[in-house]
Amino acid sequence: MGSDINYTLTVTNNGIGPAQTIVVTDNLPSSLTFVSCNSTGAAACSGTGNNRTVSFSYLAVGSSATIMLWPRLTARVGEHFKHGVCQLGDR
């Protein structure tokens, strides 16, 4: 309990054209508390509480960007937590 952990997410454009206005949403479970966010590719990390959003304005075909989230584990010893897949959108 109280340890920071790291999530690393990779966003890759496998499409046939450039992706614009990419938004990645990650809602952390209540057993975690958001601490920090960073990314490559000139993305903007935002959100409130455990509901985090990372926005990229552009991602070229075949390119990737990395998102790093650092939450703090608030579950007690013996408790389990589950964290699913993020939502990704190209607007």
pLDDT tens track for 26-52 = 888 888 899 999 998 788 999 999 999
pTM, two decimals, is 0.78
Rounded Cα distance, 20 and 26, in Å: 19
91 has a pLDDT exceeding 50? no
In the chain, where the domains are located: 7-74
Radius of gyration of the chain (CA): 14
